[in-house]
């Protein structure tokens, strides 16, 4: 009898809880969900704390809240980032463009750029009409300081150069953690760390910086639409490592901006004129195209597409062909023990073939993005006694020093920079 009563009480209690749950649910306020045709401008006008974004077909029961920023100097421009599931066509539809116009613009976009450049996390901005808040243009950030301009009113698609502002900045900092952590801590562009490493890579082992090492750098910062793009050039820098001070000064010796020490000796031992070193020889590095950690037995130099690549020493060509991973690549044997290899070339120079003899400084190919590569660069590899080694372990020739003709102007430039840096301290 007691068992029957216990079961009855449990069932009764469950019914009470069930009834209470549904009565509370029915009293909750209903949330309005915008339709897929809703214009984002209209949605933003309806709420100040939440922005209801048009639903994506693949997420039927969710309200997506985009993160965007408004440029205070241009309040009719809003900045967004590409999200998973986005496409140019979908963004154009979500903006409320007529189907025919959206289709036409999407087709023109596909003819204008490689759609592989449309990636999650990339930035774009929408310009709205100031009087009625309707969208009139979309600008999408591309590589190499380029932008894709999509004009809704004229139905035109074009690639244009970004409007870039350059300012002279300085940073005096003590190393605390890594070089990159130190740079970011002081609010400087992240790529400034790569630029600094590129100057002193052949002088300082940046994998073993010491706490208390310090540097003072004058550099050019690039911005566009109040957004920091990065570092253009280092104009001058001193770096104190283990109580030894190194200095370098930017100067055009006739081949563009390069860095030299106070005596006019080139700081670079690379086989090309490059923008910055983006990766060193390492036993473990996250591969940008394979998306996994693996050894990187080379040294990567970011440079403009088509930049000439030179033989680092005299030698004989032992390989000049295309490989699935290495792209167009050339290998030079300098001695019985030493060889160098040049990867991801856009093309191999027509004079280069297996068995050909080359001289130091002779052009063997041009910077490219072939093979397993995520952008224009040269991967330099060094083989010593049949094994790959760190290129920084070898005493390769320097790039050209300041010419005798340019030396007086260079020395005057160094004195002027040193005076400016000492006054700033």
Look up the CATH number of the domain holding residue 299.
2.70.70.10
Same domain, 201 and 348: yes
Same domain, 68 and 98: yes
| C-alpha–C-alpha distance, residues 262 and 410, integer Å | 9
In a 13 Å sphere around the CA of 52, the CA atoms on its Cβ side amount to 18
- Per-residue pLDDT, 423: 75
C-alpha Rg value of the chain to the nearest Å = 29
In a domain, 401, yes or no: no
What's the predicted TM-score (pTM) here?
Answer: 0.72
In a domain, 417, yes or no: no
Last residue of a domain, one of 161, 180, 210: 161
From residue 147, give the alpha-carbon distance in Å to each of 113, 150, 157, 162: 10, 10, 11, 6
Structure tokens at 54: 């048009």
Same domain, 178 and 118: no
Contact 377, 342 (CB under 8 A): no
Torsion of CA 218, 220, 225, 227, to 10 degrees: -60
Residue 51 pLDDT greater than 70, yes or no: no
Confidence of residue 46 (pLDDT cuts 50, 70, 90): very low
- CA-based nearest residue to 138, from 99, 93, 100: 93
Contact 343, 381 (CB under 8 A): yes
Same domain, 335 and 187: yes
Mean pLDDT, rounded, for 279-298 = 59
SS percent in the chain: helix, strand, coil, step 5: 25, 35, 40
Look up the CATH number of the domain holding residue 97.
3.10.450.350
Torsion of CA 141, 147, 151, 157, to 10 degrees: -110
Same domain, 203 and 125: no
Same domain, 98 and 146: yes
Q: Which residues of 355-384 are buried (b: 16+ CB within 10 A; e: fewer)?
A: ebebeeebebbbbbebbbbeebbbbbbbbe
pLDDT tens per residue, range 293-329: 447 789 999 999 999 999 999 999 999 999 999 999 9
- Per-residue pLDDT, 261: 97
Structural domains of the chain, count = 2
């Amino acid at each position: 009898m007691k068992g029957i009563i216990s079961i009855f009480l449990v069932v009764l209690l469950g019914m009470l809880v069930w009834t209470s749950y549904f009565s509370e649910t029915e009293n909750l306020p209903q949330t309005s969900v915008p339709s897929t045709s809703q214009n984002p401008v209209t949605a933003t006008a309806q709420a100040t704390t939440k922005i209801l974004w048009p639903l994506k077909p693949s997420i039927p029961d969710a309200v997506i809240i985009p993160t965007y920023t408004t440029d205070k100097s241009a309040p009719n421009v809003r900045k967004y980032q590409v999200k998973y599931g986005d496409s140019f066509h979908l963004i154009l539809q979500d903006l409320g463009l007529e189907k025919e116009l959206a289709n036409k613009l999407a087709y023109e976009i596909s003819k204008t750029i490689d759609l592989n450049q449309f990636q999650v996390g990339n930035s774009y901005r929408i310009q709205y009409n100031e009087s009625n808040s309707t969208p009139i243009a979309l600008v999408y950030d591309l590589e190499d300081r380029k932008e894709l301009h999509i004009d809704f009113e004229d139905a035109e698609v074009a690639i244009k150069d970004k409007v870039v502002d350059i300012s002279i900045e300085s940073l005096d900092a003590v190393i605390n953690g890594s070089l990159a952590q130190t740079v970011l801590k002081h609010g400087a562009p992240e790529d400034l760390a790569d630029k600094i490493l590129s100057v002193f890579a052949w002088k300082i082992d940046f994998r073993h910086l010491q706490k208390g090492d310090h540097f003072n750098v004058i550099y050019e910062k690039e911005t566009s639409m109040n957004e920091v793009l990065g570092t253009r050039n280092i104009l001058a820098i001193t770096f104190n490592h283990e109580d030894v001070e190194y200095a370098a000064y930017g100067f055009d010796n006739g081949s563009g901006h390069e860095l030299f020490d106070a005596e006019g000796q080139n700081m670079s031992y690379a086989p090309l004129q490059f923008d910055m070193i983006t990766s060193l020889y390492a036993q473990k590095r996250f591969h940008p195209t394979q998306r996994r950690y693996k050894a990187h037995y080379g040294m990567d130099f970011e440079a403009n597409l088509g930049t000439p690549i030179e033989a680092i020493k005299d030698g004989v060509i032992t390989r000049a062909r295309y490989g699935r991973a290495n792209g167009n690549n050339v290998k030079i044997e300098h001695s019985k023990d030493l060889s160098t290899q040049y990867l991801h070339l856009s093309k191999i120079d027509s004079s280069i073939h297996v068995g050909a003899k080359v001289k130091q400084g002779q052009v063997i190919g041009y910077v490219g993005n072939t093979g397993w590569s995520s952008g224009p660069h040269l991967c330099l590899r060094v083989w010593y006694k049949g094994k790959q080694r760190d290129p920084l372990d070898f005493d390769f020739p320097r790039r050209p020093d300041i010419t005798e003709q340019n030396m007086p102007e260079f020395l005057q430039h160094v004195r002027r920079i040193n005076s400016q840096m000492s006054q700033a301290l």
